[in-house]
Amino acid sequence: MCTPSRAALLTGRYPVRYGLEEGPEGYLLPVILHITSQSGLPADETTIASALTAANYTTGLVGKWHLGMNCTLFGRSCPGPLNYGFQSFYGIPVTLFQEFRGSHVFWKFPLHDRRFQGLAMAWMTAVVSLFLASRRKVLGYCTGVLLLLATHLILGVFWFIFAHSSMNSDCRWGVSAWLFRYANSRLFRGDQVVEAPIQLDGLSQRLVEESRRFLEAHAYDKTPFFLMHSFGHVHTPMFSAPHMAGRSKHGRYGDNVEEMDESVGKVLATLAELGLEDNTIVYFTSDQGGHLEAVEDNGERIGGHNGRFKGGKRQGGSEGGIRVPGIFRWPGHIPSGVTLDTPTSLMDLLPTLLSLAGLPQLHTLVPRAMGKELDGEDISEVLLKGAKGARTPRLFLHHCGMSLHAVRMDTGDHVYKMHLAKPKWWKGSTQCGWHHTTACDCHGANVTDLSSQPELYDLLSDPYEDYPPISPDSSEYKSVVHDLKDYVKQWRKGVTLPPSQLSTMANGLWKPFYQPHCLTC
C-alpha cells in the first residue's frame, strides 16, 4: 500500500515499527486519507532526505507524498515533507482518488431519509413559531431576525453533517464525495496550497517541468542534490493529457503507462542536457503491485496486471503485490543491461545510497538516529559487482497491515517463502472482488490463518507458486519452517510495536479546523 511502502523506502525501516500500517481492529484505514489526518511519519524518524541534508545535499520532492502533512490550526501551514529533510516540495499531499475526477453533488435533501424529514419538520416548526411570536409582538423585529438566522445556521450545520459526513450511507472514507474532493484535491508548493482542486489533465507535464526546473537550478551548484520525483501515474483515477489520450491499445491504463514513460524520458533527457547523467544515480521503482480488483463498471481494468504472479495490492504475502521494478542507472559504475535475481527491498535504498555516495553510515551521519535499527541493507556490492547480498541467509517480513502474513528467506541456493496467512480469494482468481473501491482484507474472517501449519514455497524453482507447496512431512519443510518461526519469535521479542496510527477514528477522520485553503485558487 502507498503509505507504508513509501515510509519503508524513505526510512529503511518496517512501517510496523512506528504504527504506519492498518490495525486489526478499529477504523481500518489502509492508508492516510485526509490532508488533515494526524497520522504520519513520527518526527523522530530519519529519512533519506534527512540524511542527505545532513551531508549538505540540496533536497527536493516533486509529486506524491502521502505520509502526513502535519497541518497547524486552521491549515495556516502544512509542512509535510519539509519536516522530514526535503527543502522544497511541489506536489500531491495525500494520493489521487477516484473522487478527484469530475464533479459531485453538494446539495442533497433526500426526504425518504428520516433525519432529513426531521430537519424539514424542525425548520418548519421554527419558522412558524418565530412568525407567530413576531405577529403577536412576543418578539421584537431584530430579535426575530437574529433567531431566524441562528435557526438556519444550526439546522444548516446539522444538514451538512447528515449530507456530507459518515452519517450518510452514501459517504465513503467518512465524508461525501463532494467533501472528499474539496478537502483533499489540492496541490502544494512548500507548505501552502497553490491549486484546488487539482487539474488532473496535464498534471504529469507540470510535475516534470517542476523537476526540470529543480535540476536546472542545482546542476552547477557546489553541493550535490537529491530529487525524489514521485509520479501521479499509474494510479486511479485514469487521466491523460490530450496528446496522450487514446494512444494505447490497452485503454486508459495503457495511456497512463505511456504518459509516465514520456515523463521518465523527459527527466532523463534533462540530466543528459545538463551533463549530469554520468554523475547521477537514478533509481526507478513502485510502491506496490497492481490493484487487481480495480475494474470500472464497464469492465475496463484500471488497476494494472501482475502477470503470472499471484495476487496484488493490499495482499501482504502475495508476489503480485510485492514484486515491483527496481531499476538502477549510474553510467560507468553500475553495469548496464544486467538483471539480478537477489531478493532486495525498498528499505535497502537508504543505506545503499549513502554507500554509493561515499557517505558515512546513517548513525554516524545523523546521531539522533542512533537506536533506530535499520531493516534495509547496503546492496551496493550487489549493484556494482553482481555479488550476493551482504549476508546469507537474509530474511524479509511481509506484513498486511500490522499482521505478519509471510516471511521470505534467501539462503543463496534457495529463496523460501512461508505463508502465515492468506486472503480468501474469489473462486478461480487471485483477487477479492471487482471494483476500484474493493481490496482484500488483512485481518478477520476473510483471511485464512495458516500459522499452525504454514505453506512453504521455494521461489527459485517455483516463482509463480504454481505448484503445491512443499510437503509438511518433508525434512526440508520441517527444518526451514522451524528456522523461520524461530526468527519471527526472536524478532518479535526484540521489537515493541506501537498501536496502528491508521486504525483510530481520532487520527483518521477529516478535521475541519486543520483544513488548508487557497484564497487565490
Active-site residue, from 2, 71, 432, 442 = 2
Q: What secondary structure, in 3-state letters, does 311-361 show?
A: CCCCCCCCHHHHCCCEEEECCCCCCCCCCCCCCCCHHHHHHHHHHHCCCCC
- CA torsion through residues 417, 423, 428, 429, sign: negative
Cα–Cα distance for residue pair 256/303, rounded to 1 Å: 11
Three-state DSSP state, 430: coil
Q: Which three cell numbers stand for residue 230?
A: 514521485
Among 283, 339, 318, 359, CA closest to 457: 318
Question: Catalytic residue at 2?
Answer: yes
Active-site residue, from 34, 66, 291, 419 = 66
According to DSSP, the residues that pair with 240 across neighbouring strands are none
Question: Catalytic residue at 171?
Answer: no
Asked whether the beta carbons of 81 and 53 are under 8 A apart, the reply is: no
Compute the C-alpha angle 271/275/278, nearest 5°.
80
Cα–Cα distance for residue pair 433/418, rounded to 1 Å: 25
DSSP state of 370: T
DSSP state of 498: P
Q: Which three cell numbers stand for residue 131?
A: 412568525
Query: How many of the other CB atoms lie within 10 Å of CB of 403?
Result: 19
Three-state DSSP state, 59: strand
Cα–Cα distance for residue pair 61/18, rounded to 1 Å: 22
Which residues participate in catalysis according to the annotation?
Answer: 2, 66
